[in-house]
Structures are given as structure tokens and as C-alpha cells.
Structure 1
Amino acid sequence: MNLWEIFVAIILGIVEGLTEFAPVSSTGHMIIVDDIMFKSKELFSPEVANTFKVVIQLGSILAVVIIFKDRFMSLLGLKKDPTENQEHEHKLELKQVIIGLLPAAILGLLFEDYIDEHLFSINTVLIGLVVGAILMLVADWFRPAQPKVESVDQITYKQALAIGLFQCIALWPGFSRSGSTISGGVLLGLSHRAASDFTFIMAVPVMLGASGLSLIKNWQYFTLDAVPFFIAGFISAFVFALISIRFFLKLINKVKLVPFAIYRIILASAIYLVIM
């Protein structure tokens, strides 16, 4: 393990941490960075590289768990959520989260092999970035003038299911789980912050399940040579996800989705001009 490999791990961890929960597509950024900067170096086998991506994703998940720890404990019945607004007639329940998860979980299981084999490329990511940006612009332009749902505690079962259906779009790499679900939530009348909170809460079980299965399948790639690479990436992703999520949640109700959509279009255009 040399310093260059550690540097690569840290850079990829930073990319993962900064983009995993922002509506800009972490998968798209990882594919782009990997293709442009690092693929030619062939640091590790494809199997080890794929395992590394799972490991750094776990770093980002840990950041969400820490930020929403009281909320998760409340959902599991382990603790009353101190952030719960007593003015609401109900609070977010685990059943709503599960309802939101089911559509993408079912489609993901059915089409996992096809997605892995055919959709992970620069071309598909560029399409996802642009079409996802259009959805985000549409969401901001056609959202209700006044949000009907200001807090995640006000989300209904029907809204949870509808947001879950929007999440299915994110199975296309480059589309962004956050981008699709926040856009869907905003179109359904949620505030940007409520849609973001629900998006992040839903992301944890989805990502934990997918990452857990991948780790079980690829456990043999945790060799002495690769472990420092994994650790550096995990820590980097965790730290920058923690910073990114806190900043994003403070900002999203003010700036809405348009700046992120513009960034996606600029990024896709730049990548197209450079590599196509």
C-alpha cells in the first residue's frame, strides 16, 4: 500500500461523502471520477474496487445515522423523538418508511443484474444527470405555492408510497436518489426540508441492505493490502458526508433545487465536451 493509493481512497471518499445525499448523483460522480482520474492506474482488481465503493458508502450511511439518531431511535420505539412537534396529530412511523422503501426495493432486486451489466457507464450517467436536472426544475417550477407538509411528521401513507415510486427512477445511475425523491416530495406538496428529511431516513435501510449483501458476497477481498485503502476511504466519506448533510439541510429550504439542477447540467455538458 503506497501513498498514492491512500490519496486515491481519500479523494473517492470525499466525492462519495459530498455527493451521496445531495441531489447531484453520487454514483454518477464516482463513475466519472473513477473513469477519468483513476481507472488507468489499475490500483486493484475490479472486485476490490467495487468492494471499496460499498465500504465508503457505509461511511456516508454512518453520518446519516448519527445526524438522525434520535429520529431512528424513535422509529424503532427505543426513545421518544425530542424533535417531534407536539402540534401534529401524528408522527412519522416505521410503517411509512417501509411503504416508501418497497417500490425501489422490489424493482432493484428484480433488475439488479441488468442494471449492473448495462447501465453503469459514462453515457448512461450523463443521461441521468440531465433528465434528473429537468425533473428537479419541474418540481421547483410546478410545486404548490404553499407546502401542505412542513414537517416529516405530517407525511401520509399515500405520500410515502408516491415518494417511493419516485425513488424507483434513481435505479438509473446518475439520476440521484435524493434528486428523485426530494423532487417527488416537493411536487406532492412537501416542503423541501420535509422531503429531504424523509429521503435521508429512507436511504439508510436501503443502503444498509444493499451494502450488507455486497459485503457478504465480497468479504474475501478484505486483504491486508486492501484494508488501509478501505479504512482511508471510509473515514473520508464519513467526515465529508457529516459536513455535507448538515450544510445541505440548513440550506435546502432557502435555495430549493434549481442550483443543484443547474450544476448537474453544467457537469454533464463539461464531461460530454471532455470525453465524448
Structure 2
Amino acid sequence: MDVVTIIKAIILGIVEGLTEFAPVSSTGHMIIVDDMWLKSEEFLTKYVANTFKVVIQLGSILAVVVAFKDRFIGFLGLGKKETHESRLKLTQVIVGLIPAGVFGVLFEDYIDEHLFSTETVLVGLVLGAVFMIIADLFGGKRPTAVTVDQITYKQALGVGLIQCLSLWPGFSRSGSTISGGVLLGMSHRAAADFTFIMAVPIMAGASFLSLLKNWQYFTLEALPFFIVGFISAFVFALLSIRFFLKLINKIKLVPFAIYRIVLALVIYIVYF
């Protein structure tokens, strides 16, 4: 595999890592960077290119596990014994996962067939931005859950229901869940922490299922491409998560919403 292809793998990994967990829509960025510029399907087969996107997503997921390693160790019952009853529980995470998981299974074929287009992503980008602005205007004033450990089961379920909006490509999983959390009485940081933790099982499950279906595309020729992309996505996702969590309570969601609207305009101008 040539150097140019490896460089493209690094670029795609960077894009995935920087955008997967920020509320800006990784799908929208992939349209610009890959579909409009790099065009991975032109130097790889369609199936290898799609498998690669799953691989780099796993790199981003691993970054969340590393960033919240103590939390996940605690979920497994391997953490320090002094962890108290008021900590976020695995059952709360599961409650948050159920709605989108059920809707995703029920409507997966319909979403894949009808909603994965540039037009629908543009709609998702704009509507998601509007939702984020609404969250900043009407939520987060006096949060009842300042930290992720103060989130209630009711709030977890509410965020899970709102996460169903992210099944529309371009709406953004983190954009919908952070906004929903803020509207439901969480601080921006608590909503962001819960969003990242909740993303791991649902994204990892979907990614591993996809990899099992496409295992035959892990050839010796494609392996360097996958490895470089995975490492690139992991490193930049880890940097992005840590940077984002430090900023979110200060800058909130409106700057990201404005960025999404600008991104939608760029895609519209370039693509149409």
C-alpha cells in the first residue's frame, strides 16, 4: 500500500477522532473530507472503505474507554471499594441506551435505505444546531445534576429517548444527548460525561457486529491502512475528548451550533 494511501488513512482517522464525540456531526465531516475530497472508494473497494470507517470508529471508542477508565473499571466491580452509592450506576447507562437501541433495531433497514444521503445529513446538521441553541437558551440555568454522579434514572431515560433523534444522520449523537441532558436539568459537563460513557457500549456493539459481517476484508494489503487509521482516530479522539470536557461548561453549545450551520452551508455550496 503506497504512502499516499497511508496519508489518506491518517487524515480520515484525524477527522473521525476530532468529530465523533464533539456535537458537530462526524457524518457531515466525512461527507466533506472523504466523499468530496479523498474519495476512499476510488482507491479502495466500497466494502473495504466502509469497513475502514468502522475500524476508525473503534479507535474513537477506545479513546473514551481510556479517558473514563476509572469509571468503566468501577462498572465492572473492579474499582476501589470506597466508591459510594451516589455514583453513576451501570443500570442508569443501560436505561439510557434502551430507547435508541430498540428504535435502531426496528428501523435500521429504513434508515440505511432512505436517510443516508447528503440532503438528509444537511437537514440533520441544521435541525441539530437549532436544538442545541434551544438547549442553551432554556436549559442549564440551575442544573439539578451538576456532575454525572447526580443524574437520576428519569434523566437517564429522558436522554435515551432524545438520543433517538441521532438516528437521523447528521443530527449528531453527542449533540442530541448533551442538549437533551441540559434541557432535563444536567450541567453541560454532566451531560457530556454521560453522553461519552453511554456511547461506548452502543457504538462498540454496532461496530463489532459490522466487523463480523465484513471480516473477509481484513487482508494483508488493507491491514496497514486499517492500523494507521485506528491509531490516528484513537490519538485525536483522546485529545478531542479531554479538550472538549475542559471547555464545555464555559463555551456551552451555541458555538458548535453556529459551526454546524456553517458546515451545512459549505456542504450545500460544494455538493450542489
Which of these residues, 239, 245, 248, is aligned with residue 244 of structure 2? Answer: 248
**1:34-89 per-position Cα deviation (integer Å, ceiling 9, x unaligned):** 2111228611111111100000000001100001000011112111388x6x6xx6
- Range that drifts further, 174-183 or 89-98: 89-98
Asked whether the equivalents of residues 105 and 206 of structure 1 are also in contact (C-alpha less than 8 Å), the reply is yes
Q: Report the RMSD for the aligned CA atoms in angstroms.
A: 1.4
CA distance in 2, matches of 1:40, 1:148: 46
Q: CA 1:270–1:81 in 2, change beyond 3 Å: closer, same or farther?
A: farther
Runs of 4+ in 1 over 4 A off after TM superposition: none
**1:166-209 per-position Cα deviation (integer Å, ceiling 9, x unaligned):** 11100111010000000000001100000000000000000110
2:90 aligned with 1:94: yes
CA distance in 2, matches of 1:49, 1:14: 16
Pairwise CA distance, 1:218: 0.4
Task: Find the counterpart in structure 2 of residue 207 from structure 1.
Answer: 203
Asked whether the equivalents of residues 99 and 161 of structure 1 are also in contact (C-alpha less than 8 Å), the reply is yes
Where structure 2 has 5 or more consecutive residues not aligned to the other structure, the ranges are: none
- Aligned runs of 1:1-276 on 2, under 5 Å? 1-39=1-39, 42-80=42-80, 90-276=86-272
Where structure 1 has 5 or more consecutive residues not aligned to the other structure, the ranges are: none
Q: CA 1:81–1:124 in 2, change beyond 3 Å: closer, same or farther?
A: farther
Asked whether the equivalents of residues 71 and 81 of structure 1 are also in contact (C-alpha less than 8 Å), the reply is no
Letter in 2 for 1:200: F
Q: CA 1:52–1:81 in 2, change beyond 3 Å: closer, same or farther?
A: farther
CA distance in 2, matches of 1:240, 1:81: 33
CA distance in 2, matches of 1:123, 1:81: 51
Letter in 1 for 2:225: F
CA distance in 1, matches of 2:104, 2:265: 29
CA distance in 2, matches of 1:155, 1:41: 43
- Range that drifts further, 232-241 or 38-47: 38-47
Pairwise CA distance, 1:144: 4.5
Asked whether the equivalents of residues 19 and 25 of structure 1 are also in contact (C-alpha less than 8 Å), the reply is yes
Give the match's secondary structure for 1:98: helix
Give the match's secondary structure for 2:87: coil
CA distance in 1, matches of 2:221, 2:93: 39
**1:80-126 per-position Cα deviation (integer Å, ceiling 9, x unaligned):** 388x6x6xx61110110000000011111111122122222211111
CA distance in 1, matches of 2:31, 2:111: 14
Q: CA 1:163–1:14 in 2, change beyond 3 Å: closer, same or farther?
A: same
Letter in 1 for 2:47: E
Give the match's secondary structure for 1:42: helix
**1:11-44 per-position Cα deviation (integer Å, ceiling 9, x unaligned):** 1100000000000011221133221112286111
- After TM superposition, the score normalised by the length of structure 1 is 0.95
Pairwise CA distance, 1:10: 0.7
